[in-house]
Amino acid sequence: MSLRIGTRGSQLALVQTERVCKALTKMGIEVETAVIRTKGDTATGVPLHEIGGQGVFVRALDEAIIEGTIDAAVHSMKDIPAKRPRGVATGAVLSRDSPADFLAYEGEIGDVGIVGTASTRRRAQILRHDPEITVKQLRGNVDTRIKKMREGEYDAIVLAEAGLDRLGYHLRGQRLPLSQFVPSPNQGAIAVVCRNMPEITDVIRKLDDPQTRMDVGIERIIMEEVGGGCFTPQGIYCRDGHVIAEILALDGSRDVRIEDDIATPEEARACGQRLRNDAIDLIKDAYRQLGIAP
């Protein structure tokens, strides 16, 4: 059997796809890759919420799967939106890497005054930690972000630690504590989505890590109940059923947080509904400030 695997063209996407292809090759599956450009890769000069959120990185690959151009695609799972098109399945979730954020800086931590990030969540959490920090918009691939920091546009930048590890990058800086900087839902997890046909899903499923799938599944249920996507600053993290979930004001001045132990999808849905109800004012404020219709 042979499979055609789609990927974005960024260095990180290619490294993640290579991991999946190597695993499939060891199983005796022939693979070839196809690089597909997405709107998120070409429109790097504007905030994500203005071009459709994280889902812009996934949509073109979903369409290629449905059209039959590719059989499967590899994604950072946090980029996959809650609503999925018919005919596409999440065939496997690989064992999770670090879910944490990493603050990279060149000088001394005490001299950090300007931090770069494109994430509303990271922005809000940084401002909650230190309202005196200036947070500036930063888009682009990992190399572009590092280059801009080293050229002095930013004193520090926030990146996913898992991405740095996968690329083999060793930067000066520090891991941000999960309790204070609760990660994005599914951060650190790689997913393989594929055409929803048994001859494909049965093969891809062999790459699945059940515990990671369970944890990220709980995170996604809570995320779906909360709504808001990347527009609302929200962190949701589950490890072995223990959940920390929070929603913040865009400026970090307020937050609503829940910690709970969750064992079933029903409990996850109840948690997400409770979080949304408790934080509905923060969600509405975020949409209003970003100029987005709810």
- Cα→Cα distances 99→7, 131, 135, 161, 266, Å: 21, 24, 22, 7, 24
DSSP tag of 95:
P
DSSP β-bridge partners for residue 256: 247
**Active site annotation includes 128:** no
**Active site annotation includes 79:** yes
Of residues 96, 122, 128, 220, which has the active-site annotation? 122
With 0-12 / 13-18 / 19 or more C-beta atoms within 10 angstroms meaning exposed / middle / buried, residue 220 is buried
**Active site annotation includes 78:** yes
Of residues 121, 123, 128, 213, which has the active-site annotation? 121
Return d(Cα 249, Cα 255) in angstroms, integer: 6
Neighbours of 281 (CB within 10 A): 12
- Cα→Cα distances 219→32, 163, 237, 247, 248, Å: 32, 20, 6, 13, 17
Of residues 78, 96, 123, 166, which has the active-site annotation? 78
- Which pair of tokens denotes residue 148? 């801009």
Of residues 79, 97, 155, 215, which has the active-site annotation? 79
**Active site annotation includes 230:** yes
Residue 54 and residue 230 in contact, taking contact as beta carbons nearer than 8 Å: yes
**Active site annotation includes 122:** yes
Give the largest CA-CA distance in the chain: 57
Could you give the residue ranges of the DSSP H alpha helices within the chain?
Answer: 11-26, 39-42, 59-67, 120-129, 142-150, 161-167, 198-204, 210-226, 265-278, 280-290
Of residues 59, 139, 148, 274, which has the active-site annotation? 139
**Active site annotation includes 21:** no
Of residues 230, 255, 271, 276, which has the active-site annotation? 230
DSSP tag of 118:
S
Active-site positions read 78-79, 121-122, 139, 145, 230
